[in-house]
A and B are shown apart, each in its own frame.
Chain A
Amino acid sequence: MAITISKNKASRGIAKRVRELTGVDLSACYQCRKCTSGCPVSGMARCTPAEMMRRLHLDQNDELLDGDLLWMCVSCETCSARCPMGIDVAAVMDALRKIASERGAAPTRSGASRRGGEGNVPLFNKAFLKTVEVFGRSYDIAMIAAYKLGSRKLMADTEKFPTMLKKRKIALLPPTGADRKTVRRIFKKTKENKAADK
C-alpha cells in the first residue's frame, strides 16, 4: 500500500475534527489491517479502512474525502468489532461523512461522487430523513420518489414495482400516529447545533 499525499496544500484539520467528533485516538492504529480484512466492501472500493486511518495519521487534506470507500461503507461495524486496539473505525467513517457534507465534498450531482461511482448516498440519506422530519416515521414511497428525481435514476428497480404493489409489499399511504411535534423539534435543534458549529 503506497500512499501519496500532496504537501503543497495546507492541511484543513480533518484529523483534528475527527478526533473532536469521535474522541478516537487515531494514533492507536498500528496498521495491522484487520479492519480491511473483514470489510465487506474494501474489495470493491479503491481504498480501504486501514488506508483511511493512515491518511488521517498523515493529516491529509480534503483529498482524503474523495476516497470512494466513504460512500460505499455499509456501516456494518466489522472494522470496529475486530480492531485489536478497540478503535471505533466505523465512528471515524461517520465523522468523515459528516465532514465531507459540511465541506461540500460529498457527492451532489446525479449519480456521481466527485470520483465517479454509481450512487448518491448523501442524497438518499437526505431523502430518508426528510420523510422522517415530515411524518415522524420514514415513508418509503416519498423517499424513493425524492431519491429518483434527485439522482435521475428514474428507471432503477421499476420492473419490481408491479409485483411489490400486487403483494402490497410497500405502503402507499403515509405513516400516521407518530409524535411529529417532538421529531420536528429534534430536527430544528439539529439545525441550530449545526449553525452554532460553524
Chain B
Amino acid sequence: MKYAYFPGCSAESTARDMHQSTLAVAQSLGIQLVEPKGWTCCGATAGHQTDRVLAVALSAATLAKVKSLGLDLVVNCAACYNRMKVANHEVATNPQVRAKVAEAIGRDYEGSVKIRHLLEVLLEDIGVETIAGALRGSLAGMKIANYYGCLLVRPHDVTGFDDPENPTSLDRMVAAIGGTALEWPHKTECCGSGLSMSRTDVVVNLTDNIVGMAKAAGAECIAVSCPMCQINLDMRQLDVATIKGRRHDVPVLYITQLLGLCLGIPAGQLGLNKLMISPERIVKAVVAAA
C-alpha cells in the first residue's frame, strides 16, 4: 500500500522518535510512505491564532503538492492532521477563503486530497488481524492509558475521527498488541499543547491532572499519537515533580513505539532513548509472542 506522508516539523526536531517509529512500523507492515517534495509547516496553533487565511494557506500549500502525487495523505502528528483537515474543510466550504488561499499559494486548491491519520490506516486499511499476524512480541496485559488529546477528535464534523467523547482507536490497537486499555476519564482532555513555553504554568497543571489520573487508574504507561501531547506529558512531569512535589514517573510512548516493540523492531530504531521519563521497564515488559 502506498501513501503520501506528511511528517510535520516536529518530526525533524522534538518528535524525531515519532517519525522514526512511524517509518519503522510502516516498513515492517509493508506500507510505502512518500514525502511530498518541499512540504512546509501546517501553521500549527500559532497560525490559526494569528490569521485564518494564513493558517489555511500554509496547510493548503502542502496539500496542493500532495494532490499532484495522486495519493491519499497519511499524517501521524495529530496537530498537523487537524490543521490539514481544517484547511480542506475551509477551502471546500468557503469560496472567499478558497480564493484568498489560491492567491497566497499561487494555485487553486479545492480540498480534494483525502487525509488519513496513521491510526486510521493501520486499523482500517491494514487491519488488526494482519497486524496480529506480524507480531513477534506482546505487551502481556500491560495496563495502558490511551490519551487522544484534542486534535484528533475536534472539531468532529471536520476531522470525523472516531468518537468525539470516547474514542477507542488507540484502545483497539493496544488490545491487538496484547495490552489492556484502561477505562479512564481523561482520554480527550487537553495537555495545553502550544502553550508549553508561553504559559508553562497552565501546561504543568494540566499535565499533573492528566498523568495523575492515568496513574490513579493504574496505568503503567500512557500511549499517545501527537508530538505536543507526548512532549508535554513526558517533559512537564519533571516540572510537576519540582513545582508540585508529585513524582508520577509514568512513561509516555507513541503508539507506533509500542506497536514497533511488538513487531520486534529494536528499541533504538524506535527512538525510545529520547523519552525524558525512562521507558526501560516498558521495553523489558514486552514478551515474545506465543
Residues of A within 8 A of B155 (CB): 77, 80-81, 88, 90
Chain B nearest CB from A158 CB (Å) reads 12
Which stretch, B52-60, B136-144, B166-174, B280-288, touches the partner chain A? B52-60
**Is B247 in contact with chain A by the CB < 8 A criterion?**
no
Chain A 103-145 against B: per-residue CB contact (8 Å), 1 yes, 0 no? 0000000000000011111011110110010001111100010
- Which secondary structure dominates chain A's binding surface? helix
A171-B12, A190-B54, A193-B100 as given contacts; A182 in contact with B40, CB under 8 Å: yes
Is the pair A137, B41 in contact by a Cβ cutoff of 8 Å? yes
Is the pair B53, A170 in contact by a Cβ cutoff of 8 Å? no
A179-B40, A183-B40, A183-B41 as given contacts; A74 in contact with B190, CB under 8 Å: yes
A97-B49, A132-B58, A138-B9 as given contacts; A76 in contact with B41, CB under 8 Å: no
CA distance A80 to B155 in the complex (A): 7
Chain B nearest CB from A192 CB (Å) reads 9
**Is B249 in contact with chain A by the CB < 8 A criterion?**
no
Chain A nearest CB from B167 CB (Å) reads 12
Please tell me which one of the listed residues B10, B12, B45 contacts residue A75 in the complex, with CB atoms under 8 A apart: B45
Is the pair B49, A75 in contact by a Cβ cutoff of 8 Å? yes
Is the pair A163, B276 in contact by a Cβ cutoff of 8 Å? yes
Chain A nearest CB from B160 CB (Å) reads 13
A71-B199, A81-B156, A186-B61 as given contacts; A169 in contact with B14, CB under 8 Å: yes
**Interface contact tally, CB-CB below 8 A:** 188
For the complex, count residues of B whose C-beta is within 8 A of A. 58
Chain B nearest CB from A134 CB (Å) reads 11
List the A residue with the shortest CB-CB distance to B164.
A81
Is the pair B154, A81 in contact by a Cβ cutoff of 8 Å? yes
CA distance A132 to B51 in the complex (A): 14
- Which secondary structure dominates chain B's binding surface? helix
For the complex, count residues of A whose C-beta is within 8 A of B. 62
Residues of B within 8 A of A44 (CB): 201-202, 205
Residues of B within 8 A of A183 (CB): 40-41, 58, 61
Chain A nearest CB from B203 CB (Å) reads 8
Is the pair B195, A129 in contact by a Cβ cutoff of 8 Å? no
**Is B39 in contact with chain A by the CB < 8 A criterion?**
yes
Please tell me which one of the listed residues A120, A139, A193 contacts residue B198 in the complex, with CB atoms under 8 A apart: A120
Chain A nearest CB from B274 CB (Å) reads 5
**Is A41 in contact with chain B by the CB < 8 A criterion?**
yes
For the complex of A and B, 7 pairs with smallest distance between CB atoms? A179-B38, A76-B190, A124-B198, A125-B46, A171-B13, A119-B199, A76-B150
